[in-house]
Amino acid sequence: MSQVMKTSSPDPLDTVSFVHSFRIPTAEVKHMMPHKFVTAHQYSLINWQIEISESGLPGFIRNIIDPDRRDQSVFQLVLQTAGLREKCPPVRSIEFKIRVVDIGDKEIMSPIRYVHPPGFPSRHIFNSSYSTPERGPVQEFLQSVIGVKLLENFDLDIQTLIVFDVKDFLSMENLNLSIGSPMPVELNFRYNLLMNQKFHNFHLITTTGQGFPCNKEALFVASPYFRKNLTAEMTYFQLRARHLEAIEVAITWMLTETYHPPPIMTPELADEIVKLTLIVGRGPNQRKLLGSIERHCYEELVKNHEDLEYVKNVLLVAHNNRLGSLQEACHACIITYHFADFQRDMIQNPSPEFTDHGAFHQQSVLRGVRDNYARGLLVKSFTRKTSQKSN
C-alpha cells in the first residue's frame, strides 16, 4: 500500500519549482516536434509543450519591412500549455538555459540564459506562450548554431525552470475562465417565481418520489423541453433525476442563470446536474455553469484526496462530461498520492469505464492518467519555503 502524504495549507510565500530538460541534435531542430511534459503538485496539473520554433512575420512581409534580414530565419524557444485545463496560474518565474554539448556533455560554447517576466503568457495572434524574444542574444545564439555545418554533430541541451507560488498553483481561482454568478440577496421577479411559495403551482418529481415545488408557467416559458412535455392538466412531472438537489441546481440555472450550490457536492450529484441541464435546457452560458460545478467538485476533491475511490469517481464524472480542468486535477491527485495503488487496482479490477475509448476515439481514462504520469517523470520538482519566520 502506498503511503498517502498528509498536506497542510501552503504558506502564501511557499514556492514549487519544476525543472525539465531535453536534447536535440542541432541538425534536427528545423524538423522537431514539440516535447511534451507535465508539472504536477498535489491536486493541480499542467500539461506543457516546448519547441524551438521558426517564427516571426511571414517571409514575404519580413523581406519588405526588414530587407537586411531577408535570408535569416527567426528562431525562438516557445513554451505553451497544451492540456485539457481551461485556465492556468501565473508563473512566478520561468528561466530557459540553452547549451551546445557533445556526446559526453561537454559544453562547446558558453551557454545562454533567458528569464521570462512573471505573470501570464504573452498573447500572440493565434495562441499564448512563454517565449524568448525575436531579437536579441538568444535569437543570435540560436541563429549561430542551428543549421551550421560545423556544429551538426552536436546537441542543443535545453533546460526550463518554472516556478509558481504554491497558493496560486493550487488555487481553484486559476481552474476556469468563467463561472456562474451566485444567487443575489435581493430577489427580483424571476427569483420570486422560483423561491416564493405563493407562486408555486407545480412539482418536479425525482425518481425516488421527492418533489421540487416551482411555477409551471415559468418552466413553460424558459424551456423548450417543458413546452414539449407539459400539458394543461398536469400538476407534477417526473424528471430522470435521483437527487432533489440536482433539480434545484438545474432549474435555478435555467430560470436565473445563477449557481445555487448544494450543501455537499458528490460525484454522483455532479454527474446528474450536468446531464439534467442538457435535458431541460442549458441556456447560452452553459460553460459558466460547468465552471461552477468544476470548482465545487475541486473543493470536495481537495477535502477527499486521500480516498482513492472518491478520486476515481470524480475522474469518471470529469471524463464523461468533458470537464477538462477537473479531469487534470484528478490526474494530479492520483499521480501525487495514489499511483501505485491505482495501477494495482486497474490490473486486479479492470473496468471498461476506465479502459474503453469514448466517442470519436476519445482517449480512455486509464490512458490519460498513464500518459500524464509518464510526462511527469520527465520533470524534477521541489518546494521551497521562502517566508520569513518571526522570532
163 within a domain of the structure (yes/no): yes
The better pLDDT of the pair 256, 340 is held by 340
Span 267-296, mean pLDDT?
A: 90
Whether residues 93 and 202 share a domain: the answer is: no
Whether residues 227 and 291 share a domain: the answer is: yes
Whether residues 186 and 167 share a domain: the answer is: no
Whether residues 209 and 288 share a domain: the answer is: yes
382 within a domain of the structure (yes/no): no
Whether residues 112 and 244 share a domain: the answer is: no
Q: From 135, 157, 174, give the residue that closes a domain.
A: 174
Task: Report d(CA 374, CA 277) in Å as an integer.
Answer: 36
Whether residues 230 and 316 share a domain: the answer is: yes
User: Degrees (nearest 5) of the Cα angle 68, 117, 31?
Assistant: 50
The confidence score (pLDDT) of residue 186 equals: 56
291 within a domain of the structure (yes/no): yes
Tell me the DSSP string of 106-154.
-BSS--EEEEEPSBSPEE-SS-EEEE--SSSHHHHHHHHHTT-GGGTTS
pLDDT(122) > 90? no
Which set of grid coordinates corresponds to residue 133?
A: 524574444
pLDDT confidence bin for 198, thresholds 50/70/90: confident
323 within a domain of the structure (yes/no): yes
Whether residues 164 and 187 share a domain: the answer is: no
Chain centroid to CA 378 = 19
5 within a domain of the structure (yes/no): no
Task: Report d(CA 160, CA 114) in Å as an integer.
Answer: 10
Structural domain count, the chain: 2
Span 187-214, mean pLDDT?
A: 81
Give, in order, the Cα–Cα distances in Å from 364 to each of 235, 322, 329, 353, 354: 44, 12, 16, 8, 6
pLDDT(179) > 70? yes
Strand partners for 163: 17, 93
Whether residues 147 and 229 share a domain: the answer is: no
pLDDT(199) > 80? yes
- Expressed as residue numbers, the domain containing 156 is 15-174
Q: From 151, 174, 197, give the residue that closes a domain.
A: 174
Q: Are strands 44-55 and 112-116 parallel, antiparallel or unpaired?
A: unpaired
Say which DSSP state 56 is in. S
349 within a domain of the structure (yes/no): yes
31 within a domain of the structure (yes/no): yes
Whether residues 165 and 227 share a domain: the answer is: no
What mean pLDDT, rounded, does the chain reach? 87
The confidence score (pLDDT) of residue 2 equals: 34
Whether residues 256 and 372 share a domain: the answer is: yes
Span 52-78, mean pLDDT?
A: 64
In this structure, what CATH number is given to the domain that contains residue 138? 2.60.210
Supply the pTM of this predicted model: 0.87
Span 279-287, mean pLDDT?
A: 79
Segments in 157-306 forming alpha helices (H):
166-170, 189-195, 216-222, 224-229, 244-256, 267-280, 286-303
Tell me the DSSP string of 257-270.
SEE---SS--HHHH
pLDDT(11) > 70? no
Span 118-142, mean pLDDT?
A: 86
In this structure, what CATH number is given to the domain that contains residue 303? 3.30.710.10
Whether residues 168 and 185 share a domain: the answer is: no
20 within a domain of the structure (yes/no): yes
The confidence score (pLDDT) of residue 349 equals: 94
Whether residues 90 and 24 share a domain: the answer is: yes
Q: What is the pLDDT of residues 361-383, one digit of tens each?
A: 678 999 999 999 999 999 999 99
pLDDT confidence bin for 178, thresholds 50/70/90: confident
Phi/psi of residue 33, nearest 5 degrees: -95, 155
Q: From 156, 174, 192, give the residue that closes a domain.
A: 174
Q: Which residue has the cell 535569416?
A: 72
